[in-house]
Amino acid sequence: MSGSDPLLLVDDLHIGVDTAGGWREVVRGVSFRVGSGEALGLVGESGSGKTMTVSAIMCLLPNGAQATDGTVKFKGEDLRRASTRRLAEIRGKEISMVRQDSLISLNPLMRIGVQVREPLRLHRMADRRSASSLAEQGLRRLGLPDPVRAMHRYPHEFSGGMRQRAMIGTALIASPSLVIADEPTTALDATVQAQIIDIWGRLNQELGVALILVSHDLGVVSELCDTLAVMYAGRIVEIGPTPVLLAHARHPYTRALIASMPSTATPRGTRLKAIPGEPPAFGAFPAGCPFHPRCPYARDDCRSVEPTSVVVGETQVACWVAQERGAAGIESLEESEAAAEVRAIEPTERDAATPAQSREEILGLHQVTRHYLIPNRWPFLPPTRVHALDDVSLAVYRGETLGVAGESGCGKSTLARCVLRLIDVDSGSIVFRGQDITKTRGEELRHLRKHMQLVFQDPYGSLNPRARVRDIVGEPLISHGVSGEAYNRRVAEVLELVGLGGGCGGDLPHQLSGGQRQRVGIARAIALNPELIVADEPISALDVSIQAQVLNLLGDLQREFHLTLIFISHDLRVVRHLSTNIAIMFLGKVVEYGPSEELCARPMHPYTAALLSCVPEITEGPGGRRIVLPGEPPSPSSPPSGCRFRTRCPYADTICEEVIPELRQLDERRWVACHFPDVSNLTMKAPVIDRKE
């Protein structure tokens, strides 16, 4: 925290919302300060009040919400009492905001250049020519390729990373003193996220811009922020210097958030320390400490009296137990019986190395190719060919998990659809249980679906909003002729297996939380007791605490029913934690394949090394190197000659441009498609970034 005269001071802020159930207070007494050039991180689960808090700073609360008490002082001026005209002068010029979803935040009907220079024109800080020049310089500084051309394009013509850069350029063009970034990296790939983190770090250091970063990813916050504030149920439960708080968190909720994230230090296959239960409903908080229903250390006073926020050591914490124990905090209680339920268990027998001769291949892909033809927007020109999959060969073994990782557009989801026969392959074969399934049709294909099921990415869009939970789960049973008492018994049994019980059977999807909806999707997938489940980004839309619950559930089901999983994700932390083997994909090709632990400990392909270096880790001090890949991934409609990764590879040589590297076997279980395998012996031709100095 800064001294007595901060750039921004938020003191005892209260916000209420007018709902159908009456007036509810959703932000309760939030206080913090941000000095010039400082960075504050706000973390917490959905519904904790983070976005409401930062929206109140700029007086941009949604309809029905109102700040009822407290002060928001910016450079000594109380913004809550400022006139509408004064607020219009401040927004964009003194304080800027970067929203989470850049595709929605940018006007789809306006060119990027017009939107980036808008703050300068709106505040009459430059004429059109000067504003365009400054916008071009800003986009170039943010690493946007060919900024002159980019300014004449529309948002839909940009990738997610390019749109987010344009949003940042718009926020910074008027040189504001404070930038508020609300989940600016959540929807981005790891490599693009690394670029954005690098940009924020440089801007914070070089321009002295103060930053408030809202995020659920403690790894991102630990790299960028000086101070960390943890929110739960509308209030800050712990705040302090980021390194101190991450190393010696005192509030049980903070410690649970940190423990629920898989990391390179977490042994593969162990249960994550998931926070039990669900966050309280928006504005409907329990009596006493709002975290007590989920806290393993809750006492009688926690259930009746809400704790005040008190300074303990270098942090300020709202917890009766932490305050009573002083400097020792909660750490000394971690081995107590109260914490036994959330402690990690040791790896199970399935995690031990399986002899190669005893492994049964349940699924094999052999030189699978799938291209899409997109009609050209100009008449009489041939359609565009998109190389979704090119010559992909993989093996999946019974009872194991194959993790598939890579950036958006690399072909992961197309691979899943081909495996499940939702789309046909152009060439190659897919062998499931000894049978080539690429030519199956009719009743044979219907029977095949009984043994192979899919868990979708979006738990909001993949469930019928008008169907009850019991009907959603029972739909595959009806399709395969299960009815009567057997149907009712199986639906109840499956709901119990995924931790929902019979009480949720009559609910509609909108009445469930995100984690509960994803459990319904998993229940539907296992209803027919399949042998293979394909999970396509099943946790990307969930809070980190709920992610841990779903990962534990998938692990439990796999152990109990000897399921085989194909787990698709862009987050290598999660892929490493759950997977036996990992396949890394880039632009429709598998570039590396091997055992999870070996591949993550010693990557052979430069792309794998870059992905691993970009994974945000919770760091308490100096971190490792981050390889920031230049530019954007090539288009799958016009892949580069030779190695498809060569345009971004820091080790590329002449042979990479001329010869396509084949996926070749290096040892018994490691495969790599690179002319120079083993990046540890190569000299990088591009600089790397220190995570934290």
Tell whether 667 is covered by a domain.
no
Nearest one of 184, 44, 216 to 100, comparing CA atoms: 184
Tell whether 282 is covered by a domain.
yes
Pairing between strand 564-568 and 401-405? parallel
pLDDT tens sequence across 367-396:
999 998 888 777 778 888 889 999 999 999
Q: What is the DSSP string of 625-692?
A: EE----S-PPPTTSPPSSSTTTTT-TT--HHHHHSPPP-EESSSS-EE--SS--GGGS--SS--EES-
CB 249 within 8 A of CB 321: no
Are 414 and 269 in the same domain? no
| Domain's final residue, options 593, 614, 639 | 593
| Domain's final residue, options 593, 622, 642 | 593
Q: Is the pLDDT reported for residue 348 higher than 60?
A: no
List C-alpha distances in Å: 2 to 5, 94, 224, 659: 8, 19, 17, 57
Give the lowest-confidence range in 52-61, 181-190, 293-302, 483-492: 181-190
Are 200 and 86 in the same domain? yes
Give the lowest-confidence range in 16-30, 48-62, 463-477, 627-641: 627-641
Tell whether 148 is covered by a domain.
yes
Average pLDDT of the segment spanning 203-208: 75
Query: For position 364, what pLDDT does the model report?
Result: 95
Are 275 and 291 in the same domain? yes
Q: What is the mean pLDDT of the chain?
A: 85
Query: For position 278, what pLDDT does the model report?
Result: 80
Q: Is the pLDDT reported for residue 334 higher than 80?
A: no
For the chain, first and last CA: distance in Å?
Answer: 19
Tokens of 121: 């024109």
Are 182 and 265 in the same domain? no
Top-confidence residue, 258 or 565? 565
539 CB burial (10 A radius; 0-12, 13-18, 19+) = buried
List C-alpha distances in Å: 445 to 13, 427, 442, 521: 59, 18, 5, 22
CB 237 within 8 A of CB 254: yes
pLDDT tens sequence across 632-676:
778 888 899 999 999 988 888 899 999 999 999 988 889 999 998
Are 265 and 234 in the same domain? no
Tell whether 673 is covered by a domain.
no
Q: Is the pLDDT reported for residue 192 higher than 80?
A: no
Q: Is the pLDDT reported for residue 530 higher than 50?
A: yes
Q: Is the pLDDT reported for residue 349 higher than 50?
A: no
pLDDT band at 355 (very low <50, low <70, confident <90, very high): very low
Top-confidence residue, 413 or 333? 413
pLDDT tens sequence across 79-136:
999 999 999 999 989 999 988 766 678 888 999 999 999 999 888 888 888 989 999 8
Query: For position 2, what pLDDT does the model report?
Result: 43
238: Cβ–Cβ under 8 A, 6 or more apart, which residues? 229, 230, 245, 249, 250, 251, 253, 254, 315, 316, 317, 318, 319
For residue 235, the SS3 value is: strand
Tell whether 636 is covered by a domain.
no
How far is it, in rounded angstroms, from Cα 508 to Cα 223?
40
Scored b (16 or more CB within 10 A) or e, 404-437 reads bbbbebbbbbbbbbbbbbeeebeebebbbeeeeb
Q: Angle at CA 2, nearest 5°, toward 39 and 307?
A: 90
CB 16 within 8 A of CB 66: yes
pLDDT band at 213 (very low <50, low <70, confident <90, very high): very high
Q: Is the pLDDT reported for residue 524 higher than 70?
A: yes
Average pLDDT of the segment spanning 569-579: 88
CB 179 within 8 A of CB 169: no
Average pLDDT of the segment spanning 613-624: 65
Are 328 and 255 in the same domain? yes
The H or E element that residue 91 is part of is none
Are 273 and 345 in the same domain? yes
pLDDT band at 155 (very low <50, low <70, confident <90, very high): confident
> What CATH number is attached to the domain comprising 228?
3.40.50.300
Average pLDDT of the segment spanning 461-476: 90
Query: For position 153, what pLDDT does the model report?
Result: 87
pTM: 0.84
Dihedral sign from CA coordinates of 201, 202, 203, 206: positive
Tell whether 119 is covered by a domain.
yes
Q: Angle at CA 424, nearest 5°, toward 421 and 428?
A: 100
Tell whether 89 is covered by a domain.
yes
Largest CA distance in the chain: 77
Average pLDDT of the segment spanning 52-56: 93
| Domain's final residue, options 554, 571, 593 | 593
Q: Is the pLDDT reported for residue 284 higher than 70?
A: yes
**Tokens 């100096």 identify what position?**
622
**Tokens 């440089």 identify what position?**
202
Phi, psi of 163 (to 5 degrees): -65, -40
Query: For position 545, what pLDDT does the model report?
Result: 80
Are 331 and 420 in the same domain? no
Phi, psi of 158 (to 5 degrees): -100, 155
- Percent above pLDDT 70 for the chain: 89
Number of domains within the chain: 4
Are 222 and 204 in the same domain? yes
Task: Quote the domain boundaries for residue 305.
Answer: 248-349
Pairing between strand 532-536 and 564-568? parallel
Average pLDDT of the segment spanning 167-195: 82
Phi, psi of 526 (to 5 degrees): -95, 0
Query: For position 342, what pLDDT does the model report?
Result: 40
Dihedral sign from CA coordinates of 184, 187, 193, 195: negative
- Percent above pLDDT 90 for the chain: 42
Are 381 and 394 in the same domain? yes
Are 239 and 273 in the same domain? no
Tokens of 425: 């392959």
Nearest one of 358, 345, 363, 324 to 452, comparing CA atoms: 363
Are 175 and 84 in the same domain? yes
Pairing between strand 8-19 and 65-74? antiparallel
Average pLDDT of the segment spanning 260-274: 78
Q: Is the pLDDT reported for residue 526 higher than 90?
A: yes
Tell whether 678 is covered by a domain.
no
How far is it, in rounded angstroms, from Cα 413 to Cα 585?
11
pLDDT band at 268 (very low <50, low <70, confident <90, very high): confident
pLDDT tens sequence across 408-452:
888 898 999 999 999 999 999 999 999 999 988 888 888 888 999
